[in-house]
Amino acid sequence: MSCTLIEEIWVEKYRPQTFNEIVSQNIAINNLKDFVKSGNMPHMIFTGPAGTGKTSTALIIAKNVIKKQNYFANVLELNASDTVRMDYVRNAIKGFVNQNLVVGDDALKVVILDEADNIPKQVQQALRRIIEKTSSNVKFILICNYINRIIDPIISRCAVFRFAKLPEEKIIERLKFISKQEKLQIPQIQANEFYEALFFVSGGDLRKAINTLQMSVALELLDNLDLNEVLKISGFLDGSTLEKLIKTLQSKNFEGARKIFITIENLDSRNFLRQIMERLGNLNIESSNYNKIISFIGEIDYRISQGADAKIQILALIGELIRNIKIDT
């Protein structure tokens, strides 16, 4: 058995180091390049889904505008995901910004605040005052998934850059590049399917795509490539279980569907909803109820995101699907 030693996490090893290595996001990147070149940079917000290059881009900017020997003194990187340490976040920013006033130092400084949408509104108000008061040589880059969680007075002080999910061809291109660098042996006849499966599980999140590639290698899935295994390690239903489930749904067999569903191991409910969404067309749903079902799936997704029991919610969905399926006669 070949033993694959994972020395390094590939998402870090292949983190882009220059603007040109950032895949897609052309509009944002071109504008950012101009700002960096002009030396006149506004405060900024990078917003968009996970794994699209926001943090990487912020780090590239910092590297471009701050001299190497001053990097640690003049760049502050904070992650606001840990709300317990919110006071720490606030104090660190204050300290960093004020250090300026004391020393009378007017060198450019950058504050990168990752996951800024986790900051409670009240603390955002404090942050807003810090941004307002701080001198013009300190630039903030706030990073978030959901810009609607950032208060308006902060948004209005920043240039907003939107990062989009990466399209299939870009994800696959990057995965192929990494595979080549790592000299992976992917069975030729399955290579395309493999990359497509990685794209499918990634949902446009390049971090997830790269992690799944590395996990496939670590678990030695490449030697005897079975795409169902790739789906399973990513928390998706394997092909045959999905087919079985679809069949029981089509025959309006609630008990059968429930049995299949409760035996699924390590189910990721959002992935499950995605797979159901993709197969909705095969389910023979009354066309007049199609839209209703889609909005019901959205509702279930929301409830789960708010902490409702995933199993109960999905069983409710199965019931609703079955109620709306036509049986061909």
Of the CA atoms within 13 Å of residue 65, those in its CB half-sphere come to 28
In the bound complex, which residue of the shown chain has the CB atom lying closest to Mg ion? 55
CA 240/CA 145 separation, integer angstroms:
34
Identify residue 67 by its one-letter amino acid code.
K
Residue 93, exposed/middle/buried by CB under 10 A (0-12, 13-18, 19+)? buried
52 binds, among Mg ion, ligand ADP, none (CB under 5 to 8 A by kind): ligand ADP
Q: Which of residues 12-71 bind ligand ADP (CB under 6 A)?
A: 14-16, 22-25, 50-56
Residue 138: CB minimum distance to Mg ion, A: 21
* Residue selected from 210, 230, 231, 249 as contacting ligand ADP according to rule CB under 6 A: 210
248 counts as binding ligand ADP under rule CB under 6 A: no
203 counts as binding ligand ADP under rule CB under 6 A: no
The angle at the Cα of 33, spanning 32 to 38, to the nearest 5 degrees, equals 100
56 binds, among ligand ADP, Mg ion, none (CB under 5 to 8 A by kind): ligand ADP
Tell me the two tokens of residue 308.
Answer: 């409702």
In the bound complex, which residue of the shown chain has the CB atom lying closest to ligand ADP? 53
The CA-atom distances, in angstroms, between 232 and each of 70, 154, 203, 214, 269 are 46, 42, 15, 15, 13
The angle at the Cα of 48, spanning 307 to 90, to the nearest 5 degrees, equals 75
25 counts as binding Mg ion under rule CB under 5 A: no
24 binds, among Mg ion, ligand ADP, none (CB under 5 to 8 A by kind): ligand ADP
47 binds, among Mg ion, ligand ADP, none (CB under 5 to 8 A by kind): none
> Phi-psi region for residue 48, left (φ > 0), alpha (ψ -120 to 50) or beta?
left
Stated as kind and residue range, the H or E segment containing 109 is: strand 109-114
Residue 63: CB minimum distance to ligand ADP, A: 13
56 counts as binding Mg ion under rule CB under 5 A: no
Interface residue list for ligand ADP (CB under 6 A): 11, 14-16, 22-25, 50-56, 163, 206-207, 210
Interface residue list for Mg ion (CB under 5 A): 55
